[in-house]
Structure 1
């Protein structure tokens, strides 16, 4: 199991950027797998929680929601946070993709019902522009492979 806290300890600057993107209030989309293997995308909100001494990335699913049943059957998912402003071709802070496995934690706590999931992280990918804004930069981190970067024209 790789928590968000494990990622944060391994790459604190990259984790800061990733968290800023996840918290900026732009709609997030999660991809899950249907029973027949076809992809399904759904809107989602995430929580970065420091309770218990280790940062966890988590999310919920409403009762009877298809994404929750998808994840209970096959926990693999991909989460996408699109660039904040694409109207002028500006990537701003860039976009973020998070992949992993959703680990069912039981019922959501609080006034909302549904299922609570935490993330077993397998990959974090950021795509944005370099400081000169003349090259596309792709950075990614995996638990076993560490940090990588590619510059593109």
Structure 2
């Protein structure tokens, strides 16, 4: 699976656009899998550091327990409504998916999670399998979908 640095190296302009969307708002939506296999969505914060994508969770939170049991995840940027007068000005939305690795080394957790409140918490590093960027095309009569997959690179689709 790919680190964020590998996505950036393979498709730099695409990765920069995705990162702008993910960095534009503090909160994102994280999808995990419950014990019974059904989906759970949770709010989360994520950060890029040292060529990796990181996110955490409160100690023994449901999302952290989900990820410990099944490391598959999907992360979605915050969405804003398109402007009815200029839909092509909509910045789009970004989503990515893959698997996480929980980091438990206290020194590494402290290094990455400098702003975390005191006390125990969870820290996960994302291994990325796919990234999608969806925008309104120009002219605003179609969607432009950019899809990066590990080992397959970037593909672009037009959806009318």
Normalising to structure 2: TM-score of the pair? 0.86
**Residue 149 of structure 2 aligns with which residue?**
142
Secondary structure at the residue paired with 1:6?
Answer: helix
Work out the number of aligned pairs and report it: 149
Asked whether the equivalents of residues 105 and 116 of structure 1 are also in contact (C-alpha less than 8 Å), the reply is yes
Give a deviation string over 1:64-114, Cα, whole Å, max 9, x none. Answer: 200000000000001111432346384711011110101101154244230
Q: Tell me the distance in 1 between the aligned counterparts of 2:143 and 2:78.
A: 15
Q: Tell me the distance in 1 between the aligned counterparts of 2:154 and 2:123.
A: 29
5+ residue gaps in structure 1?
A: none
**Residue 92 of structure 2 aligns with which residue?**
94
Q: Tell me the distance in 2 between the aligned counterparts of 1:94 and 1:38.
A: 27
2:61 is equivalent to residue 65 of structure 1: yes
Secondary structure at the residue paired with 1:21?
Answer: helix
Q: Which has the higher contact order (CA 8 A, sep 6+)?
A: 2
**Residue 79 of structure 1 aligns with which residue?**
75
Asked whether the equivalents of residues 82 and 94 of structure 1 are also in contact (C-alpha less than 8 Å), the reply is no
Q: Tell me the distance in 2 between the aligned counterparts of 1:123 and 1:66.
A: 24
Q: Tell me the distance in 1 between the aligned counterparts of 2:157 and 2:69.
A: 35
TM superposition shift of 1:130? 1.7
Asked whether the equivalents of residues 137 and 152 of structure 1 are also in contact (C-alpha less than 8 Å), the reply is yes
Asked whether the equivalents of residues 26 and 84 of structure 1 are also in contact (C-alpha less than 8 Å), the reply is no
Give a deviation string over 1:23-44, Cα, whole Å, max 9, x none. Answer: 1016310000000001000001
- After the TM superposition, which parts of structure 1 deviate over 6 Å for at least 4 consecutive aligned residues? none
Q: Tell me the distance in 1 between the aligned counterparts of 2:3 and 2:58.
A: 23
